[in-house]
């Protein structure tokens, strides 16, 4: 049972004691009916109760809160009651107190029966409970309804050891439960406790601010390059700059490995743009960590929250959405946007659904878009395009789920699925007498040493020649990997498979790197092709790129040919193949054979 002392003008309690009172109450665990948070606390009580042969034990804290035990068990909580000054004297004294028979001590004449007892106590002993640094936080008191003849040295040692264990346990639990070991700032549990207290004190609203030090990948790069000591020093330095910015009497919390938070006072209910700009400017200044300067990419998020939103909600998750968005903005800070948050939640939902779809045989599908040879007009290749038919959301476009797959680490599985299904259908079409190739897109995350073996194994499993496959990589993917990329691409070419540079013209367009790539074809991005009908500049770009690529030995494929006018234009250029809606829209796998059977070819150079 917990009781609380009333005000006593003659007793002094300093600020540090008040802080420990709050910390210890949190550590001990609130009402005893909820259990004690200090590991083994109740076990210590049972040990001292048996060792001294006493039925009653109490932990009385410096501020007046008391926790009572009878026969080793916590007593039920009831309304707070006034503690006798004798208990407070013990809780605030550095000296132990032993009263073998209270009837012979005038201090006990007006002491009410202890909780859980129907008669006055006759034996009382106390031992101060101190922190590891010697600061007293209360006393451990033991009581009996019968007097004792003595308190032996062994019993006194047991009481002293029990008090030491309780003091160490309280400090350890408080430290681990509320303090980050690196920055010495209170952390997430303390943040939530204090935010609840903010509302309990009558504030209708709170502004929560979060500071993300750096994107996770970049912070991990700090650690890989400089070590944990450097990263720890950076976190301490960021904390110091933030503490110098936040209003006085405002606490800063470390709520994540790379994130701080604070609850701003009520006068900051309206976002102060100038003040936030000042904080971002402070954090963008270089930090000198262990003698090595570093510039971070901070993100500051701001969230306005009411008490009702705290119940059952997670303000840290909400404000984290704002700080994450801020990291990728020029200004460096952002206010929480509920619509943006909902989009993030939908993305997470889609990622989990996509992972399930990769094991399901009905949701994912492949469509195939024909490519025709401009010299003969006949179909020579099909590009495999993934489609996702979600059972409740309907058709989800590739522009949405491909990026999700890359960010969620699902791209390898998705590429493997496309490989298996696409090559299996290609084998079927070739057995039907159609001499066509299959091209499919490969992400930068797939461009590794095992891609060569994966392609080889799938081709062998379906008995398809590797020279009938073409792997499409975006221009950016090919240009950003340098020597490693060329090594993997060379291995793919040695298998006999083709390599296409996709979306050319929208990325780096590095001609020096282009000439070193072992690619076989170059696909001019459809954004230039579609503009040829209205823009002389786009037509000049397509014509020039086609001439250049042809002279470098690439087979030129033009995407986005959607009208007969565009088709006629590319016929007159140095292009080898065309692809687009004017030729055919992407076809479900079941429609490919009928389309191939009825396709009579497109106009060709031989006819023109």
Summary mean pLDDT of the chain:
83
Q: Is the pLDDT of residue 274 over 50?
A: yes
**Stretch 375-399: mean pLDDT, rounded?**
92
Confidence of residue 175 (pLDDT cuts 50, 70, 90): low
Q: Report how far residue 502's alpha carbon sits from residue 516's, in angstroms, rounded to the nearest whole number.
A: 16
Q: Identify the pLDDT of residue 595.
A: 95
Task: Check residues 63 and 59 and name the one with the higher pLDDT.
Answer: 59
Q: Identify the pLDDT of residue 110.
A: 78
Q: Is the pLDDT of residue 578 over 90?
A: yes
Of 12-16, 79-83, 562-566, least confident by mean pLDDT is 12-16
Q: Which of 366, 371, 384 is nearest to 561 (CA)?
A: 371
Quote the crossing angle between the two packed helices 338-357 and 315-327, to the nearest 10°.
90
Domains, the chain, ordered by start? 2-178 (3.30.450.40), 188-336 (3.30.70.270), 364-387+411-598 (3.20.20.450)
Q: Report how far residue 430's alpha carbon sits from residue 1's, in angstroms, rounded to the nearest whole number.
A: 82
Q: Using alpha carbons only, what angle is made at residue 74 by residues 70 and 77, rounded to the nearest 5 degrees?
A: 110
**Stretch 127-156: mean pLDDT, rounded?**
87
Q: Is the pLDDT of residue 80 over 50?
A: no
Total-model pTM: 0.60
**Stretch 90-98: mean pLDDT, rounded?**
89
As annotated, the active-site residues are 559
* Range list of β-strands (E), 505-591: 521-524, 555-558, 577-578, 587-588
Confidence of residue 189 (pLDDT cuts 50, 70, 90): confident
Confidence of residue 83 (pLDDT cuts 50, 70, 90): low
- In the DSSP assignment, the letter for residue 7 is -
Segment 534-556, tens digit of pLDDT:
888 888 988 998 998 898 899 99
Give the CA distances from residue 58 to residues 44, 113, 448, in Å, rounded to whole numbers and listed in that order: 12, 13, 66
Q: Identify the pLDDT of residue 504.
A: 81
Segment 96-130, tens digit of pLDDT:
999 999 999 988 877 777 776 778 889 999 999 88
Residue 469's beta-bridge partner residues?
Answer: 438
Q: Is the pLDDT of residue 73 over 90?
A: no
**Stretch 9-26: mean pLDDT, rounded?**
40
Q: Identify the pLDDT of residue 205.
A: 84
Q: Is the pLDDT of residue 285 over 70?
A: yes
Contact 130, 92 (CB under 8 A): no
Q: Report how far residue 350's alpha carbon sits from residue 216's, in angstroms, rounded to the nearest whole number.
A: 22
């Amino acid at each position: 049972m917990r009781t609380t002392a009333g005000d006593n003008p003659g007793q002094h309690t300093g600020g540090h004691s008040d802080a420990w009172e709050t910390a210890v109450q949190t550590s001990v665990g609130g009402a005893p009916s909820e259990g004690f948070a200090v590991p083994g606390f109740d076990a210590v009580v049972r040990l001292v109760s048996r060792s001294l042969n006493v039925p009653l034990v109490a932990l009385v804290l410096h501020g007046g809160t008391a926790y009572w035990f009878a026969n080793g068990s916590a007593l039920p909580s009831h309304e707070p009651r006034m503690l006798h000054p004798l208990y407070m004297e013990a809780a605030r004294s550095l000296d132990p107190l032993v009263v073998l028979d209270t009837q012979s001590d005038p201090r006990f004449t007006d002491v009410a029966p202890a909780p859980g007892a129907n008669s006055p106590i006759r034996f009382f002993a106390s031992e101060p409970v101190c922190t590891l640094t010697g600061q007293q936080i209360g006393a451990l008191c033991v009581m009996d309804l019968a007097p004792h003849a003595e308190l032996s040295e062994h019993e006194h040692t047991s009481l002293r050891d029990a008090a030491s264990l309780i003091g160490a346990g309280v400090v350890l639990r408080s430290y681990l439960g509320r303090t980050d070991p690196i920055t010495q700032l209170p952390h997430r549990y303390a943040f939530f406790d204090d935010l609840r207290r903010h509302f309990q004190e009558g504030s209708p609203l709170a502004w929560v601010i979060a500071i993300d030090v750096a994107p996770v990948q970049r912070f991990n790069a700090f650690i890989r390059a400089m070590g944990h000591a450097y990263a720890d020093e950076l976190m301490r330095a960021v904390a110091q700059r933030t503490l110098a910015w936040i209003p006085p009497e405002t606490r800063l919390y470390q709520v994540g490995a790379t994130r701080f938070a604070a609850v701003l006072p009520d006068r900051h209910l309206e976002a102060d743009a100038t003040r936030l700009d000042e904080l971002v400017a402070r954090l963008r200044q270089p930090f000198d960590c262990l003698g090595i300067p570093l510039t971070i990419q901070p993100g500051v998020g701001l969230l306005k929250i009411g008490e009702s939103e705290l119940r059952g909600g997670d303000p840290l998750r909400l404000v984290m959405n704002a700080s994450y968005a801020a990291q990728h903005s020029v200004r460096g800070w952002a206010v929480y946007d509920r619509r943006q948050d909902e989009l993030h939640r939908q993305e997470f939902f889609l990622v989990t659904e996509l992972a399930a779809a990769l094991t399901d045989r009905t949701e994912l599908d492949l469509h195939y878009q024909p490519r025709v040879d401009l010299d003969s007009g006949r179909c020579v290749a099909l590009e495999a395009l993934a489609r996702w038919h979600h059972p409740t959301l309907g058709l989800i476009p590739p522009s949405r789920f491909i990026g999700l797959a890359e960010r969620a680490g699902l791209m390898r599985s998705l590429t493997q699925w496309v490989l298996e299904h696409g090559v299996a259908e290609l084998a079927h079409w070739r057995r039907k007498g159609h001499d066509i190739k299959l091209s499919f897109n490969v992400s930068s995350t797939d461009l590794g040493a095992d891609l060569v073996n994966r392609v080889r194994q799938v081709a062998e499993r379906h008995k398809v020649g590797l020279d009938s496959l073409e792997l499409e990589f975006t221009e950016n993917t090919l240009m950003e990997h340098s020597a490693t990329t060329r090594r993997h691409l060379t291995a793919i070419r040695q298998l006999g498979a083709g390599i296409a540079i996709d979306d050319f013209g929208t990325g780096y367009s590095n001609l020096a790197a282009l000439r070193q790539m072992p690619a076989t074809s170059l696909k001019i991005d459809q954004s230039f092709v579609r503009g040829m009908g209205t823009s002389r500049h786009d037509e000049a770009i397509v014509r020039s790129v086609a001439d250049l690529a042809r002279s470098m030995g690439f087979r030129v494929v033009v995407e986005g040919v959607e009208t007969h006018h565009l088709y006629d234009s590319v016929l007159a250029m140095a292009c080898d193949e065309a692809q687009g809606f004017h030729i055919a829209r992407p076809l479900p796998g079941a429609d490919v054979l009928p389309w191939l059977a009825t396709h009579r070819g497109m106009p060709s150079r031989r006819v023109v």
